[in-house]
Amino acid sequence: MLSNVAFIRLLAQEAMVKTLRVLDSSGDRVIEFDESEAATSARREAKALFERMLASGSVAFRVNRGEGKPDEKVTDFSALESETVVVPRVVGG
């Protein structure tokens, strides 16, 4: 059985809206989703885009993490936090 604190944390995680921000040649695309049943379509779209971008060489970072936590590279969709930015591979020339 969950303690009250663990239960509250679980509810907060489920209710947290996540933002996937993709920066590419078409501009700045934003997909917001959470873990609710109502957001299933947006979550699927975000996951497909995230995986497609990483497969093509893009890099994702968890940003604006709060509590003094530094931004951090992320490679797994399930590890996304409140805001994630995906940037394409930069090619010099």
30 pairs with which residues across the strands? 21
Whether 40 is in a domain gets the answer yes
- For the beta sheet containing 27-33, the strands, ordered from the edge strand earlier in sequence to the opposite edge, are 27-33, 18-24, 83-87, 59-62, 72-74
74 pairs with which residues across the strands? 60
Whether 9 is in a domain gets the answer no
What CATH code is carried by the domain that includes residue 81?
3.10.20
Predicted local confidence at residue 44, as pLDDT: 93
pLDDT at 2 over 60: no
pLDDT at 6 over 60: no
Whether 4 is in a domain gets the answer no
Whether 6 is in a domain gets the answer no
Whether 8 is in a domain gets the answer no
Whether 2 is in a domain gets the answer no
Whether 12 is in a domain gets the answer no
User: Mind listing the pLDDT tens digit for each residue in 10-65?
Assistant: 455 556 889 999 988 888 899 999 888 888 899 999 999 999 999 999 999 999 87
Band (pLDDT 50/70/90 cuts) for residue 92 is: confident
Q: Is 0.85 topped by the overall pTM?
A: no
Q: Please, are residues 31 and 48 in contact by the beta-carbon 8 Å criterion?
A: no
Total domains in the chain come to: 1
